[in-house]
Structure 1
Amino acid sequence: VTFLGRFDDNAASAAGTPAAPGAAIVIAGSEQEDTGQNGRSSGEGPMPIHNYIAGHNFALPQPGIEGLKSGLRSKSAGKGMTDEQARASGLAEALERYSGVFMGEEPRRRARFIDLGEDEVVDPRRCMLFSERQYAEREIWRKRASSFQYVPLPFDEQAELDWSPVWSLSEGRQKYLPSSYLYYGHPEGGRFCTADSNGCAAGNTLEEAILQGFFELVERDAVAAWWYNRIPRPAVDLDSFDLDYVRALETFLARHHREFWVLDLTHDFGIPVMAAITRRIDKPVEDIVFAFGAHFDPRIALTRALSEMGQFLPAVLHMPSDGSGEYAYPDPHSLEWWRNARLADHPYLSPASELPARKISDFQNLQSDDIAEEVRCCQQLVEERGMEILVLDQTRPDIGLPVVKVIVPGMRHFWARFAPGRLYDVPVALGWLDAQKREEDLNPVAMFV
C-alpha cells in the first residue's frame, strides 16, 4: 500500500515501527515538511468535495438489538481537499478501525477493580463520564435506539473483568483500563464499557498517530462544551485565510442553494477548533449539515472541518426544493435533524453577533518542524490542566500501519456524556457563561455524528 499523503494533511513521512500493546512509548523526533496546503494547487475544478468509503466501521458500537435497529453507517470514510487525500484518508481510517478490533491476542489480565492498585488502574468512569442521572435513566436512553447514545450498566467495582495495559506518557509507566473500553467487539463490551473511536488515529509514525488522536480529543471536548451548553461562538473570517479551496466550495454550494459559515470553537487548550455549518436557503426544510476540525495550524483545522462537512453533503444535496425526496443516509437521528432543524430554533449554530469574526492572525499556531516536540506540547497542555495523557498502541503486525488510541481521563466525548467536569467548568472559566448550567438544561439534541 502506498499512502498518498500525510494523514495530518502534511507531506508523507517515514513509517514507524510497531510496538507491543502496553509497551513503553518513546517519542522520537522527526522533521516535517511544510504543509503546502494553501488550496491553490489542489486541481479540484468545479467539484471541491472528495469522499471515499472503505471497509466496515467496527468503531460503531452496536450492543444487542439496539445497534441493529439504529441503521447507523457501516463503512469507514475518508475525505480531503483532493481526491488523493480522500483516498488515503479512507484507507487509513479503515485500517485504523480494523487495528482496534479485539482478536483475542491482546495482553490482558483478569481482575476486579478493587483488587488492582490505585497507582496501576484508571477508573473507566473518568473516561466515559456518564452522569448518575444518565445511569438512572438508562432505559430511556436505550429506547432511543442509537449506538451514539448507548448508556451501559453502572460500573461494578466487584466485577471480574479483562484489563489491558496502556502507557501513561505523563507518568512514564504502564496502567490498566478495561479491555472492553479499548477494543471493538470485546466479549464484555456493552456491559460496563463500550469501545469507540474517540482518540483513535493512524499515522505514518507512532508520533504522528498520537498527535492526530489527541487533536480529535481536543476537537470533541470543545464541541461538547459549545453544543450542549448552546453557546454562540464567533465566526471565522474566511477571507483572511485566502484559500482557493474555500472559494471553490462557496461557488459549489451556491449552485446548490446553500450558504455556509465557520465558527471558532477554540477553548482552553488554545488549539484551533472549528465548526463548519451549511444550510439550504431555498426551502423551509434547511437540511443543516455541520462538521468539525482541530489542528495546531488553523488552516488545517479549517480545511478539516470543511472537508468533513463534505462527507455529509451527498446525503442532502440532491433533495428538491419542494420538500419531497428521500435523504441518502438512513440514520434516524440524522433524518430527524434534517427534516426538522431550523437555524432560528438553534441560534448557537449562528455566529455570535456581538463578537468580532476571528481572522487567521487571531489564532495561535503551535505547529513546529519536530513532531516529537508537538507531542510533548500536547502532553504539557494536558498536564497543565491537571490531567494525564495515556496511549494504547493498537498497531497490528499483519498491517504495520501505526495506530493508537489516545485517552485523557476528564476530557469529554461529544456524544451525550453528562457527568460533572469540563463540560460545565470550562465555559464558565472562559467567560462564555456566567454560571454552570444544570444537566437538565443542556441541549436536548444529543450529538449524532
Structure 2
Amino acid sequence: MDTSRFVPKGLASRPKGYALDQDKICPPAETVARAKAAFARLGAGVLAETRRIDTGRLGIPVFLSICGEAARAVMPTRKQMGKGASPEQAEASALMELAERFSFFSFWEDGGRLVAATWSEAEASFGDRLVPLALIRHSVGETGLDDAAARRILDLLPWRFALVRDVASGEDVAVPLDWFKLLNEFNGSSAGNCFEESVLQGACELVERHVCAVIGRDRPELPTIDPASCDDPILSGLLAAFAREGVRVWLKDFSLGMPVPTVGAIAYDPATFPESSEIVFTAGTAASPAKAAIRALTEVAQLAGDFETSSNYEASGLPKFKSLEAAGWVLAGPTVALDRLPGIEREDIALELAELAGRLAAMGHPLLTVDTTHPELGLSANYNIVPGFAFRERTPAASLGLFTGRLLAEQADPDTAATGLAALADIYPDAPFVPFFEGLLALRTGDPCLALHRFAVSEALQPLPEDQALAAFYQAHALSRLDRYEEAVPLLDRAIALCPEVKEYFNLRGVARFKAGDYRAAAHDFEAALEQDAGSAMDLANLGLCQARLGRTELAAHHLNAALALDPDIAFAREALAGLAAKSD
C-alpha cells in the first residue's frame, strides 16, 4: 500500500523493510554494512572494532562498539553496547549507538549551527519563531513564575540557540538548545537508517525515560503482563530462553497513558543471585506492545551479563534492587494481556512518528528535534526534546533559577556569576540552591572557607534528603581542600546516612580516612564505592593503596593492576605497584 499521500509536512514516507524484533526500513545486515563503510571513510580513529560479549548462556546476543582515538577525543565514553534478538541486530545497535553519540558530541564541539544570545536578544533575532517562555517554564514544571521574572533569569547569561523541528507541525522553531542539554544531558540523542527512523527511536526513548522516572518516584501498583498472551514468535522465543535457564522474568505495563507502550521487565536468577548475578530492572518503549517487550528483554540481557558473570550494571532510568523483597511494589498488580497496551503500529515509520508527535503535542508535550548528522559520517542522527518530560537524574526541585544558577556558578566569569546569583536570590528568597551555588563559586575562586559556610547554610534550607546529603558532601569537600580531613568524616557519615546510593560519598570518606591513617576503614569505603560502580579505576587504585598499607601485598597488587587495566594514566597506582615489586625483590 502506498502510504506517502498520508505523510504530513516535514516527513518522508518510510515503509518498513524489517519488522522482526525491531522496526527498521532495512534489514540489520544492511545497517551493519552501511555503518561500517561510513566509519571506514573516517579512518580507524572513530570505530576501533565491534565484538560480541555475551557468554552464550541465554543465546541473546550483546555487542560492543569500541571507540577509536578520534572518537574518545570528543566523547566521554569509550564503548557502547548494542542489543537485539539476532547477532546482526545487536551489532547494528552497537554501531548506531556509536554513530548517535559521536554525532551528538561532534555537533556540540563544532557549534557552527548555534547562536549565542540572551533571551531578550533571541526575541529580537528570532521573533515569532522563538518558542514561548511558557514552554521553558513547562520544561521544569515551574508554575509560580511570570514571564518578566523568567526573562530576567534567562537574560543573566547567553544561551546557545538553534532552530529545531516541531515534528507535529513540521515548522522550525528556535530554542535555547543548551538549556535542554543541561536538563537532559545526552538523553534524547538518536541515530537510524533515516531521519524518521532516528527521530522515532529517540522519541520512544524519551517516553521510556519519562514514565520510568515517574514510576521510580511514585512507585504505583501497575498491571503485570500475562506471559501466555505474548504470542509474538520473537518475544515468546526470548521468554523461553530465560525460562530454559531458570531465570525468572516479570513483564509490567509501564505505559502510564502515553501514546506508545512501555513494558517494564524485572528479572533474576535464583541459582546465581546474589553471588554472581543481580536483579535487573529495566524497560523498553516501541510502537507496538510486542516490540516494547522485546526491547525490554534484550535490554535485560545486555545489563545482566547472562546472570553468571558477576557483572555490575549502573542503574539509570529505574532504581536498582538488592533483594526481591525491595522490589515487591513492582511485582504487585493485576494481570493483563499484552494486547491491552496502547500502540501506534503502522506499515510506515513516518506515520508512526506523525501519530506519536501529534498525540504528544495534544497532551502539551511537543516533540522537537534537531538534525545532528555528522557531515562526513553521513548516518542520520538527531537530538530530540520533549519539554515537560521527567528525567530520573534531574532533581524534583528543578526551576529556571536552579539550572541557571548552576551554569553561573560553574562556567560564568566570577563577577558575572556573583551578580547573577544575587539576582536569583532576589527572585527566589530563601531558595536553598542560591547559597549552594555561592559555595560552588567560592570553591572555583579558591575560597574553601567561604564555600564551607555557604554549603552549611544551604544544607539547613534543603527540604529533601538527597539534597541535604549533597550539601553535606560539599562541606566535606571544602574541608578536604583545607586538609581538615578528620572534620570531614562526620559530614560524610551524614551524607551516606541520608543517601547511601552515591559512590562519591564513600570515595571521599575513604580518602579522608586514608589521610587520617585509618586504612582498614578506608578500604571498606572504597569497597562500598566499587559495589556501586565495579568499573571505577580510581576506587580500585585507592583500595590497592589501602591493602598495601595493611600489608596485604597480593591483594594490593591485584587491585592496582585492575585499576591500571582500566586507566593506564593513574600515576600513583603505577608508582605503588613498582614499590611493591621492589619490596618483593
Task: Give the alignment's TM-score, normalised by structure 2.
Answer: 0.52
Deviations 1:51-78 (Å, cap 9, x if unpaired)? 11213599xxxxxxxx9xxxx9642211
Largest Rg, 1 or 2: 2
- Relative distance call for 1:161 and 1:362 in structure 2 (3 A) is closer
Give 3-state SS (helix, strand or coil) of 2:228's partner. helix
Q: Is the 8 A contact 1:57 1:76 kept in 2?
A: no
Look up the match of 1:90: 94
Q: Which of 105, 129, 135 is 2:140 aligned to?
A: 129
Q: How does 1:36-55 map to 2 (within 5 A)?
A: 36-37=20-21, 47-55=58-66
- Does residue 342 in structure 1 map to residue 323 in structure 2? yes
Higher RCO, Cα 8 Å, sep 6+: 1
Please tell me whether the aligned partners of residues 264 and 273 of structure 1 are also in contact (alpha carbons under 8 angstroms). yes
8 A contact 2:230–2:236 mirrored in 1: no
Q: Distance in 2 between matches of 1:51 and 1:161?
A: 39
2:13 maps to which residue? Answer: 29
CA distance in 2, matches of 1:252, 1:289: 16
Deviation (angstroms), 1:303:
0.4
> Structure 1 residues 231, 404: closer, same or farther in 2, change over 3 A?
same
- 1:257, CA displacement in angstroms? 5.4
CA contact (8 A) 2:184 2:391 kept: no
Q: CA deviation at 1:281?
A: 2.4
Q: SS of the residue aligned with 1:262?
A: strand
* 1:205 and 2:203 correspond: no
3-state SS, counterpart of residue 103 of structure 1: helix
| Partner-residue secondary structure (3-state), 2:225 | coil
User: Which position in structure 2 is the counterpart of 1:135?
Assistant: none
Name 1:111's counterpart in structure 2: 117
Q: Which amino acid aligns with 1:95?
A: A
Contact 1:181 1:194 in 2 (8 A): yes
Alignment counterpart, residue 357 of structure 2, candidates 379, 382, 385? 379
Q: Which residue of 2 aligns with 1:399?
A: 377
Write out per-residue CA displacement over residues 141-191 of structure 1, whole angstroms, 9 at most, x where no aligned residue: xxxxxxxxxxxxx965321233222122345433333343567xxxxxxxx
- Count of aligned residue pairs for this structure pair: 347
Give the alignment of 1:1-12 within 5 angstroms.
none
**Deviation of residue 202 (structure 1)?**
1.1
1:21 matched residue in structure 2: none
**1:341 shift after superposition:** 2.1
1:87 Cα deviation from its structure 2 partner: 0.2
- Cα deviation for residue 206 of structure 1 reads 0.6
Q: 1:223 aligns with which of 207, 212, 228?
A: 212
Paired amino acid for 1:180: D
Q: Determine helix, strand or coil for the equivalent of 1:95.
A: helix
Are the structure 2 counterparts of residues 248 and 379 from structure 1 closer, same or farther at C-alpha, using a change threshold of 3 Å? closer
Q: 2-side partners of 1:169 and 1:254: how far apart? A: 41
Q: Which amino acid aligns with 2:358?
A: Q
Give the equivalent residue in structure 2 for 1:157.
Answer: 155
CA distance, structure 2, for counterparts of residue 241 and residue 92 of structure 1: 28
SS in 2 for 1:343: coil
Q: Which residue of 1 aligns with 2:83?
A: 79
Identity of aligned residues (%): 24
CA contact (8 A) 2:166 2:368 kept: yes
Other structure's SS at 1:100 match: helix
Paired with 1:173 and 1:271, the residues of 2 have a C-alpha distance of: 23
- Rounded to whole Å, the distance in 2 between the matches of 1:89 and 1:49 is 13
Does 1:297 find its partner at 2:288? yes
- Post-superposition offset of 1:360: 2.7
- Distance verdict in 2 for CA 1:310–1:202, change over 3 Å: same
Deviation at 1:106, TM superposition (A): 2.6
Give the 3-state SS of the residue equivalent to 1:53 in structure 2: strand
1:411 Cα offset (Å): 1.5
CA separation in 2, counterparts of 1:246 and 1:373? 24
Report the AA paired with residue 290 of structure 2: R
419 and 48 in structure 1: CA distance in 2 versus 1, 3 angstrom threshold:
farther
Rounded to whole Å, the distance in 2 between the matches of 1:77 and 1:342 is: 26
Single out whichever of 72-81 and 269-278 deviates more from structure 2. Answer: 72-81
**For the structure 1 residues 251 and 35, does the alpha-carbon distance in structure 2 shift closer, same or farther, using more than 3 Å as the test?**
closer
The one of 167, 170, 173 aligned to 1:169: 167
SS state of the match for residue 302, structure 1?
helix
Residues 125 and 155, structure 1, Cα contact 8 Å, conserved in 2: no
Q: Aligned with 2:110: secondary structure?
A: coil
TM-score by length of 1: 0.66
- The alpha-carbon deviation at position 27 of structure 1 amounts to 0.4
Partner residue, 1:414? 392
Q: Name the CA distance, whole Å, in 1 between partners of 2:21 and 2:326.
A: 36
Match of 2:426 in 1: none
For 1:259, the aligned partner's letter is R
Query: Using a 3 Å threshold, how does the CA distance of structure 1 residues 106 and 239 change in structure 2: closer, same or farther?
Result: farther
Q: Which residue of 2 aligns with 1:148?
A: none
Contact 2:204 2:285 in 1 (8 A): yes
Q: Residue 168 of structure 2 contacts residue 354 of structure 2 at CA under 8 Å; is this kept in 1?
A: no
Partner of 2:302: 311
Query: Does the 8 Å CA contact 2:249/2:265 hold for their aligned counterparts?
Result: yes
**What letter is aligned with 1:32?**
K
Query: Displacement, 1:89?
Result: 0.2
Cα distance, 1:349–1:56 mapped onto 2, change above 3 Å: farther
- Structure 1 residues 349 and 73: CA distance shift in structure 2, 3 A: farther
Aligned pair in 2 of structure 1 residues 270, 111: CA closer, same or farther (>3 Å)? closer
> Which whole-Å CA distance do the structure 1 matches of 2:260 and 2:465 have between them?
28
List gaps (5 residues or longer) in structure 1.
1-24, 59-66, 133-153, 184-192, 320-326, 422-438
Q: Comparing 390-399 with 45-54, which one deviates more in the overlay?
A: 45-54
CA distance change for structure 1 residues 399 and 296 in 2, over 3 Å: closer, same or farther? same
Q: Distance in 1 between matches of 2:223 and 2:132?
A: 37
CA 1:131–1:173 in structure 2 vs 1: closer, same or farther (change >3 Å)?
closer
* 2:164 counterpart letter in structure 1: V
Alpha-carbon offset, residue 195 of structure 1: 5.8
One-letter amino acid matched to 2:12? A
